[in-house]
Copies of this chain bind each other. A is one copy, B any other.
Amino acid sequence: MSVQERKERERAGRERLILATARELAEQQGWDAVTTRRLAERIEYSQPVLYSHFRGKREIIGAVALEGAAEMAAALRAAASASSSAAASATDGPRARVTSLARAYLGFAERNPAVYDAMFQLDGGLAFATEDTPEPLKDAFAALLERLGEVAGDGVNPALFTEVFWAALHGLATLTRAGRLPPGDAERRVELLVDRLAMI
């Protein structure tokens, strides 16, 4: 029995190694550089080993995306609670919480571009907006919804409002990183977005 357990531990460890290596390589040189050959070489195994853990490259991307979704959800919740636990939480109120939520979202995308790509730009074979959407993805959306629901405004479906707000953040994140928007005015764009969308 103990032998089998040890093997399972080793196997799980190797799977974490694969994902961590893929992620690191993607962040360093982009997902195009994450080839099965390079990945195999870095983990010091041959290519077929990858296929005993994942069906293929797409599934590796999907696994990294799920990791990232969990981290993003945590980052969003941390940002929201941090801004409310600070000195004067009652006065700055929901306005400051939404702003720091938006900054946290864009900050995550900026600090983890490859992970963000895995989540939203690449095909990781994940289901979205359906009942069999993986839990971490639903939870990341829920983290947004928790803070944005209170500023949706009267008579506006909180989920619908969150979708629009999220889309705007996603647009800012992707266009900024692709060099489609002048990089200097990022902060002003965030403030404008929050001022207009959020009903304080």
Contact = CB atoms under 8 A, between A and B. Distances in A.
Integer count of this chain's copies in the complex: 2
A161 B120 contact: no
A114 to B, nearest CB: 15
A166 to B, nearest CB: 7
Nearest to A163: B181
Interface in A148-194: 156, 160-161, 163-164, 166-172, 174-175, 178-182, 185, 188-189, 192-193
A49 interface: no
Main secondary structure of the interface of A (DSSP, over half): helix
Interface string A52-73: 0000000000000000000000
A99 to B, nearest CB: 14
The 5 closest A-B pairs by CB, nearest first: A171-B171, A167-B171, A168-B168, A170-B171, A128-B180
